[in-house]
Amino acid sequence: MPYRAPISDYSYILNNVVGFSQVAGTEKFAEASADMVEAILGEAGKLCEEKLAPLQREGDLKGATLENGVVRTTPGFAEGYDGIKEGGWVAISGDPEFGGMGLPMAVTTAVNEMMSSACLSLQLNPLMTQGQIEALEHHASDDLKALYLPKLMSGEWCGTMNLTEPAAGSDVGALRSKAEPNGDGTYAISGQKIYISWGDNDFSENVCHLVLARLPDGVPGTKGISLFLVPKYIPDENGNPGKANSLKVVSLEHKMGLHGSPTCVMQYDGATGWLVGPEHGGMAAMFTMMNNARLGVGVQGIGAGEGAYQHALAYALERKQGRSPVENGTGAIIDHADVRRMLATMKSDLFAARSIALACAVAIDMGNATGDREWKARAAFLTPIAKAFGTETGIRVAELGVQVHGGMGFIEETGAAQYSRDVRVTAIYEGTNGIQSMDLVGRKLMDGGEAACALIEEIVEQAEAARAQQPRMAEAVWNATEALRDATEWMVSQTDMNERFAGSVPFLLGWARVLGAHFHLRAACAEEGDGPRTRLARFYIHRLLPEHAAHFAHATTGAADLYALSPDDLSAA
């Protein structure tokens, strides 16, 4: 089934739902007019439809391999990457001083989603580079910026992120990688890193690794970690790839999905690296990259879900099965109520997740353009929700896509199962969704709930304004928001963080449900008459929004009943 980029959806959300006009109204992003953004999205959509989407199945069937220490990528991936590189799509939001387009993160977010729908395995490559670009822009020395940023932004060189080690997963502070000063401003980096997405390839001139390691005087834990830029090939005096560095790919992980994306075990043996940011300041620099990547990974989930939805919809429109239960039906399975329910759930949840991600991107853009503390706080608050709900939505939509196909969904030849296998890891990497929820109830409520309450008041005001136009939907959103307010106040009142953590996941999902309803209601109010967006909003608000009550009941139960269950209680009988 050919993929079609949902350009109209992005345009509608940007123009009518998440307030992108505020971004275009700033001096920094004054050139990002509605017409320009639509033209850019149109060009990116063509790339995704014509060059990247045909690679989706190839990446699954003919994944990356390691031959004599050299990574061989899926046939066609090099040409697909060339299309990304030549279009300048790696550095959409990059600083124009170093060759970037300088466009808002909201535009990058939409483009990244399209690429994820078309071929998630390949899109993961530029996503890693984008994160490295942002980290270097904020933390690298002027010399490193001048040498590396133009190459990364042009796509000639690719970037990676090296955090995880065999004994240091989410507990990054337990890492053992070492950095020894060489006496000439460089450092010798030694250690092993695992789960390194796109740790190597056979189509870029160089691969630049951002590596966390500890200096000899680094204290234990995260406060003693530094960040280093370690290239595969050390640049020569002209800035071109020179001699090979002392690093290698030890092996590729055997994964349930994303076969086209080489996930590497990397070994560093005294490899030459350059310090990024201050000594022992590695976590602050790395979090710049990770926060960028968290929104990007949420969008990957949405993109994979969009691909799964389009795949399932095409099948439902064509598959003949049984007698149609509706008068003048098509005779295809889309006539059946349960199939219609699944498709409506998929589409409405994708709209909700997409709107949350774009709202997060708009907040990032406004924070960058204005320096306003409230916009930055909103971006920080929305990031874990965008990441977790975007990926949970992608997983759920891909699962429903298999179900819509029925028995054929379990047969690999249809391609439905690939979306489910590929998207599953997005809930795990860049901080598991459990970690995202703990961040939401922890760091993001350290302001006493100020950023959360500002969002709640905005949702309430919009619901009240919508009463005249959409009274039933507005009332449902208003009531759900009051439940959200109560749950948020309960979280803020808990001084024992474990009480918060015990209900953090349902709390995040409840927030996402209410935000999704808020954006659906906005979409309905911006439409004339009882159109498709209004009908979709009605489905979401009346059928999916009620889930918020169960989420908040779970979220505010506390931790006692969890710890009343002993390990023996949880053991198999």
- Give me the helix-helix angle, 504-525 and 450-465, nearest 10°: 30
Tell me if residue 18 falls in helix, strand or coil.
coil
**Distant-in-sequence, close-in-space partners of 143: CB < 8 Å, separation ≥ 6:** none
Closest alpha carbon to 3 in 302, 261, 314, 334: 314
127 residue type, one letter: L
| Calpha distance 488→509 (Å, rounded) | 13
Tokens of 571: 């053991």
> If you search the block for the tokens 């439940």, which residue do you land on?
483
- Catalytic pick among 306, 392, 399, 430: 430
For 508: left if phi > 0, alpha if psi spans -120 to 50, otherwise beta; the answer is: alpha
Helix boundaries (H) for 494-546: 497-502, 504-525, 532-539
Q: How many CB atoms lie within 10 A of CB 413?
A: 8
Active site residue 49: no
The two structure tokens encoding residue 340 = 């219609």
Q: What's the gap between Cα 246 and its chain centre? A: 32
CA nearest 439: which of 287, 303, 545? 287
As given in the structure block, the two tokens for residue 97 are 């001083």
* Range 22-27 contact pairs with CB under 8 angstroms and sequence separation of 24 or more: 22/362, 22/366, 23/104, 23/106, 23/362, 23/365, 23/366, 23/369, 26/365, 26/366, 26/369, 26/370, 27/369
Angle between helices 337-370 and 282-318 (to 10 degrees): 150
So which residues are the catalytic ones? 430
